[in-house]
Amino acid sequence: MLEVLARILYAIIITLTGYFIICKITMEDYKKIDLKTVVLLLILVVLSVINYKTKYTIFYSISIFLVNIAIYKSLFQISVEKAIISVSIFMIILFFSDMVCASIFRLFFSIEQIRNSVIISLATNLIVSCECIILINNKKILNQVRKYYKEISSNKKLINTLFLILLVVDFCLLAYNLTRLKIYNINYLVNSIGMIIFGIITYIFIENKNNYNKLSNEYDTLFNYVQNFEDWIEKEQLNRHEYKNQLAVLRCLTKEKKVKNKIDEILEDNINIEGQAVTNLKNLPKGGIKGLLYYKAAIAQKRKINLTTDVSIENKGILEKLSEKQVKILCKLIGIYFDNAIEAAVESKKKNVTVEIYELKDKVNFVFSNTFKKHKNMQDRNKKGVSSKGEGRGNGLYFASKLIKENTWLEEKQEIIDNYYIQELSVLKTKK
């Protein structure tokens, strides 16, 4: 009887821990516990007690995993994808915490003593529960997990969900092996290291995916704005001369120095949409690319960059035949390369940036050339986090390289010629 009560207590501890963690991940309010919540959690407790075996089995973990998905889908009224993602993250945290605790306890007790002794089992369950809560309450871990949950569940890409499921299965297999091996055995050490590696890989994957999604979303937002910017800038160019003339007249009519200075300030602060560099971009088709280049050209001129543009493309050519999705991807890459060219040129003495866009028979080339100040990490520029701009920067080229690998209709190459860093991006003509 005592053994049954102990199992019920263990199940309650882990169930409440899971409920707390999944509430944290999904951002549900765990303080509002109603009758439905109590009933569903009791079902989870009962099933955990029924499935519990003295010897650890993979079936137990898999069955609890599936039951948790069903329970939390019903409890929070969320999609299957969201339930799988949140429960998978909880299970991975639970496995990792359990492995750490078990490794310590097995220095003093056998696996049979740990699973059969009421006092030892209670102690291990409480410690594992505390470990899980400490991990999820870590601000950095919680923020990464929440961002990942939000992005992956909204994107609904099957590959991301499958990745988490496979990780849970891998943890189940490793946990099974650890319970079968002696603690001083080399195989035990290998399996322990394997579980630690899987835990680290999971965190790195989540962090990497969050950074990628953040950058991708920023450029998606920019893409939406620059489409409107295209129309605005063309209308603005028509009114620009009249606007400047009116300000010049007002400046002549006043004797107040403050008013004159204010008019000069307005003219200086306005987006510069004149000049040959901007005019050359007119031949580009509408749809986002032109607007983005207008916007980046304005930023370059405001930062005192000597910008030169040269556009030579065919009417109804390759760029006009790109899908909206392809245009968005292309805009992300153009944004990254143009930004990097501006940033590098600002640090150089000559501050030159050249943008060339020309169409050949089977491709369109975007070539960004800029002067730069030499840095030691030039050879590693495509690696994550490598940048001359300080800590926390340098993800642009890394994510650009990932985009290139994911899209076979794009190619890129980089070279240095006569103190100019040259980034070439090619859009290949594809068959329908």
163 token code pair: 């990745």
The span from the CA of 171 to the CA of 198, in Å, is 8
Q: Quick: pLDDT tens for 288-329.
A: 788 788 888 888 888 888 999 998 887 778 888 888 888 888
Burial class (CB in 10 A: 0-12, 13-18, 19+), 99: buried
Q: Where are the beta strands (DSSP E) in 261-312?
A: 306-312
Query: Which residue carries 């499935």 as its tokens?
Result: 51
The span from the CA of 3 to the CA of 252, in Å, is 95
Residue 345: per-residue pLDDT: 93
Residue 376: per-residue pLDDT: 47
Nearest to 90 by CA among 42, 40, 21: 21
The span from the CA of 141 to the CA of 203, in Å, is 8
The span from the CA of 206 to the CA of 229, in Å, is 34
Residue 392: per-residue pLDDT: 40
Element (DSSP H or E) covering residue 370: strand 363-371
Residue 108: per-residue pLDDT: 80
Residue 391: per-residue pLDDT: 41
The span from the CA of 79 to the CA of 206, in Å, is 20
Residue 260: per-residue pLDDT: 66
> Tens digit of pLDDT per residue, the chain (432 long)?
666 787 788 888 888 898 999 988 888 776 667 788 888 888 888 888 777 666 667 777 788 888 888 988 888 888 888 888 888 889 888 888 887 887 788 778 777 777 777 788 888 889 989 999 998 998 888 888 888 787 777 666 677 677 777 778 777 777 766 666 666 667 777 777 777 777 777 777 777 777 766 666 666 666 655 655 555 555 655 555 456 556 655 665 566 777 667 766 665 555 555 567 777 787 788 777 887 888 888 888 888 889 999 988 877 788 888 888 888 888 888 888 998 999 999 999 889 999 999 988 889 999 999 998 876 455 555 554 444 444 444 567 777 888 888 898 999 999 998 889 999 999 998 765
Cβ atoms of residues 393 and 345 within 8 Å: no
Residue 7: per-residue pLDDT: 77
The span from the CA of 113 to the CA of 164, in Å, is 32
The span from the CA of 109 to the CA of 288, in Å, is 66
Residue 134: per-residue pLDDT: 92
Residue 386: per-residue pLDDT: 45
Element (DSSP H or E) covering residue 410: strand 410-417
The span from the CA of 205 to the CA of 230, in Å, is 37
The span from the CA of 392 to the CA of 377, in Å, is 15
